[in-house]
Amino acid sequence: MSTRDEKQSMKPPKVLIPEIKLQARVKELASEIARDVQGKEVVAICILKGSFVFFSDVIRHLDMPLSCEFLGLSSYGNKMVSSGEVKVTLDLNDPIEGKHVIVFEDIVDTGLTLTYILQSLAARRPASIKTCALLMKPSSLKVEIEPDYVGFRIGNEFVVGYGIDMAGKQRGLPYIGYIEHDH
């Protein structure tokens, strides 16, 4: 490997949120969700691909009637910054009309993707929609949006791990790490 970018991508990420802290917060989020949707049948929607680890960990802590759906979206491609353009790569299998929906997102960066998701799902007339984001970058928001549940608020670090990738790599890390930029 000869280019600086290739060498950069080989550096191991620095730990931003350790595994033990992630798992503790996942349990807290599941408790908050369970309390808020008590007695309702819920459709949990995982936004692919980045949310799948977070999603599976949270739903394993939810002891309630629950069905799972998956929505594939992309706004990063292979870049380190959101393009702001959302591409649907996989749609829901079942209708959500009249159902209580919780959307699980890995990271709210610009807010544009989550805004798109909420508008798209609202058009399908669910009984309610709540949002749960593992990470939120408040200083990067381009639209005013606040998820109902937020795991961690972070700065503008480019994060990887726990399902979140960089160009398809480093999803399997058990922690949230960040990639340092060479200046």
Catalytic residues: 109
**Distance between CA atoms of 119 and 33, rounded to whole angstroms?**
22
3-class DSSP string for 139-152 = HHCCCCCCCCEEEE
How would you list the strands of the sheet with 176-179, edge to edge? 14-17, 176-179, 158-160
Tokens found for residue 152: 């961690």
Between the alpha carbon of residue 50 and those of residues 23, 26, 35, 37, 143, the distances in Å are 17, 15, 26, 24, 21
Q: Which residues pair with 129 in a beta bridge?
A: 101
Contact between 101 and 45 under an 8 Å Cβ cutoff? The reply is yes
